[in-house]
Amino acid sequence: MGGYRSSAHLFTALATLAIAGSLAGAQGLLRLRVFWIVLALVVSLLVFLRLLFFGVVHFSGAGFTDEFFLHLEWQSVVIAWKEYPALVIGGLMGMCVLVIVVVMTGRRLALPSRPTSMILLLISLVLMSTGREQLPEWQLFDGWRNWHQQEIMVLDDETRERLEATGLVEFDIPNKSRVRARHPEEPKNLILLYLESIGTNLTEQPDWPGLMPGLERIQAEHSFIDTFWTSSYITIEGLTNSQCGTLFPFARGSESMAGGSGLAEQLPCLGDVLGAAGYHQVYLGGAGMSFAGKGDFLAAHGFDELKGMEHWREIGLEQRPGKWGLSDPELFDQSIAEIERLRAEDRPFNLTMLTIGAHVPGYVYRECDGYDDDAPRFINAIACTDQLLTEWLSQLRERDLLRNTVLVITADHHVFPSPEMRELFGDSVHDRRLPFIVIGEDLPEPEASEGALYDLAPTVLDLLGIEHDAAFALGRSLVRKPSRPDYFIKRYADIYQGQRHEINPLDCDESESPGNPTLPLDPCTRGELLGSLNVLARSLSDPPDRIACHDGQERLVAGEEIEDGFELVIGGVEQSGRFVYQGRPIAPDRSGLYLLPIDSSGEVIHRRFFPEDVLTDDGSIANAVAADDAAFHLLLWRPSAESSQELQLDPFGISLPPENGLLVVVDRNGEKLVREPLAEMTDPRFSGVVWSTLCPKLNDS
């Protein structure tokens, strides 16, 4: 899993010393005057990477894995600052002191002779090469390379047949647009609750007796099956895998699902099937909807309303001091009001929600009685989650809100196997069981005794009595007779006959001819299966929109004749309704700045929207532009009727007039290729100006 192991301390220390030795050897040969300044900066960078690496390991139990890059966004930095300000300040101050010490003392040191410097340089390079895999720098590079590596595997018929013969996977998945579904004559509503980081192991802690008595009692009364394995490691993975019945690949970054152009848009998921059956679907969460692409994923898969921290701020609910996002007590209160609203409507609904209190490092709210004042913060947070869950369920029953409703309670993932969690819970951090609680009337009985998180979608559809023709790659309905072996595949390790089964992908010998797969899967077959799931997801992904310079289909129209904003067609695909702000899709009639970055081949990278009041903070624009790595930016400015002063956009070196809309196309060097008022775009000939300007500059035009 790429976790840090104590046995590697010596190799890490030697390789780190080798980096310093190689620099000293190089200076002994080159005798540069600015060497000590360069050395100070390099040493500071090395220290920063080690602090970052050990911080990530302490937080998640792993180093620079896919999860690190998935959450490598500005909101993660904000959270880190709020939770660990002393550590951040201390680290920065320590690095500054280190720079000063290195520069001041280094100038007084005598340099080794050139022969000695050559020997030192060679020895250091050998040590660096030998121990490079233990270096945080190497792990960061290797993780980044794996994160951006593009799969080239093609799912041929022979591979497909061999993998389907295991009974574990189904590749005949229809495009969601072809899915047909209908609810029964008396449809049931769905309330689906994901508890943050709650595994069943937390109810069985001898060192912390009575930690979650409420959940323990609810499980004893309403647990749907005996064992429900996780198939996820982080929150967005728990949502996608459970909603879509597969292991969702994350190959392009945390915003790869933004703006409706992301990974596996056409993969049928729970929300898509319920949407086809006529359900109104609402998501409630305490965190921001843009975090890790959560809002973009849900918006692309059937949800009608997304209510995260952005929404709560709009209605006057603020983040409590020292807490992250909307507090769980307020989230549960809002859910009660939301359920009452939805029950008053004349259609079935799906209310899905995710708590936040048990997110590391844990949040304790004033509404809870503490487990123990002397207990660690996370222990009290877990106990608080249990109390809030119990009270919420009591309110649902007292208000008769569970009538004609199926309530499902599970978790997004288990606790991270970090050093802190190991200290609190011992070896049980490797217990991969999650709760799977089902409460409702006249529900079918389970036919299976064991399942996994990716079984949630097909199981819930059967519990609701939905007739549909959707299929899921890994997910199977636990209401039906089991059709697969006792084997559950995950990204890092599998479950075979109730036991965690570690598989090292490096043990795959590709020279051996593939035979009929047997369980447990060998490393090569398992790699084929995971790669094939990636291929399936990409086959059900919309291709990236790209400027079609040769067919003349591109169009840009705005003005009085477009009542709902503007029309922007790229690659034959309408773009105007696909801009997002804070994880939510934005209608093209809103006032503000529409930002569309385009790469050197003409491919649309994503679509971002910035409200007018946000534009006064150039930092948000600058951060977005810096992260785009775009060859061109197309900007559409639509001022509001209240606009009274000119706005400056320093990242682009342009001003936005308060009275008129504006189109600007600027390249990465700041050259303005187009700058025209939106009012003139009622003339179709004007649209050609944009594409005739851009197309000659594109690599693949």
* pLDDT tens column, 644-659: 788 888 888 888 888 8
Kindly report whether the peptide bond that precedes residue 485 is cis, defined as omega within 30 degrees of 0. Answer: no
Give pLDDT, residue 479.
97
Residue 381 scores a pLDDT above 90: yes
Interval 474-491 mean pLDDT: 92
Give pLDDT, residue 128.
65
437-439 and 305-307 as β-strands: parallel, antiparallel, unpaired?
unpaired
Q: Could you tell me how many residues make up the chain?
A: 701
Give pLDDT, residue 187.
97
Residue 10 scores a pLDDT above 70: no
Top pLDDT among 153 and 681 is at: 681
Give pLDDT, residue 694.
84
DSSP-assigned beta bridge partners for residue 573: 570
| 433 and 201 Cβ atoms separated by less than 8 Å | yes
| 436 and 499 Cβ atoms separated by less than 8 Å | no
Give pLDDT, residue 253.
38
Contacts of 465 by beta carbon, 8 Å cutoff, 6+ apart: 183, 184, 187, 188
Q: Give the range with max mean pLDDT: 117-131, 157-171, 605-619.
A: 157-171
Determine the 3-state secondary structure of 76 from DSSP. helix
- Give Cα 304 to chain centroid, integer Å: 20
Question: What is the C-alpha separation between 146 and 68, in angstroms, rounded?
Answer: 12
Question: What is the C-alpha separation between 9 and 690, in angstroms, rounded?
Answer: 57
Top pLDDT among 49 and 128 is at: 49
- Give Cα 465 to chain centroid, integer Å: 31
Contacts of 610 by beta carbon, 8 Å cutoff, 6+ apart: 581, 592, 593, 595, 620, 621, 624
Residue 35 scores a pLDDT above 70: no
Residue 449 scores a pLDDT above 60: yes
| 297 and 238 Cβ atoms separated by less than 8 Å | no
Domain 189-500: give its CATH code.
Answer: 3.40.720.10
Residue 36 scores a pLDDT above 80: no
Alpha carbon distances (Å) from 530 to 224, 331, 414, 470: 28, 36, 21, 21
Residue 473 scores a pLDDT above 90: yes
Interval 404-430 mean pLDDT: 92
Give pLDDT, residue 2.
39
Question: What is the C-alpha separation between 593 and 215, in angstroms, rounded?
Answer: 47
Q: Which two tokens stand for residue 135?
A: 């270096």
Determine the 3-state secondary structure of 292 from DSSP. helix
Top pLDDT among 629 and 396 is at: 396
Give pLDDT, residue 255.
36
| 431 and 200 Cβ atoms separated by less than 8 Å | yes
Interval 571-594 mean pLDDT: 78
Percentage helix, strand, coil for the chain under 3-state DSSP, each rounded to 5:
45, 15, 40
Q: Give the range with max mean pLDDT: 67-71, 571-575, 622-626.
A: 571-575
DSSP one-letter code for 377: H
Residue in the structure block whose two tokens are 């590596």:
149
Q: Give the range with max mean pLDDT: 426-440, 537-551, 651-665.
A: 426-440
pLDDT band (50, 70, 90) for residue 568 = confident
| 348 and 187 Cβ atoms separated by less than 8 Å | yes
Top pLDDT among 215 and 621 is at: 215
| 356 and 294 Cβ atoms separated by less than 8 Å | no
Q: What share of the chain in percent tops pLDDT 90?
A: 37
pLDDT band (50, 70, 90) for residue 159 = confident
Give pLDDT, residue 331.
97
Give pLDDT, residue 498.
87
Residue 341 scores a pLDDT above 90: yes
Please tell me the least confidently modeled range out of 43-52, 77-86, 293-302. Answer: 77-86
189-195 and 227-229 as β-strands: parallel, antiparallel, unpaired?
unpaired
Give pLDDT, residue 34.
64
Q: Which two tokens stand for residue 442?
A: 């006249």
* pLDDT tens column, 54-92: 667 666 656 666 656 655 655 566 666 666 676 677 767
φ, ψ of residue 160 to 5 degrees: the values are -60, -45
Residue 520 scores a pLDDT above 60: yes
| 460 and 408 Cβ atoms separated by less than 8 Å | yes
Please tell me the least confidently modeled range out of 268-277, 518-527, 577-586. Answer: 577-586
Give pLDDT, residue 268.
95
Query: Which amino acid, residue 506?
Result: L
Residue 530 scores a pLDDT above 70: yes
Residue 629 scores a pLDDT above 50: yes
DSSP-assigned beta bridge partners for residue 105: none
Give pLDDT, residue 260.
40
- Rounded to two decimals, what is the model's pTM? 0.71
pLDDT band (50, 70, 90) for residue 503 = confident
Give pLDDT, residue 132.
62
Alpha carbon distances (Å) from 458 to 115, 133, 141, 353, 490: 70, 42, 39, 19, 18
Helices (H), 456-598: 456-463, 523-539
Average pLDDT, the chain: 82
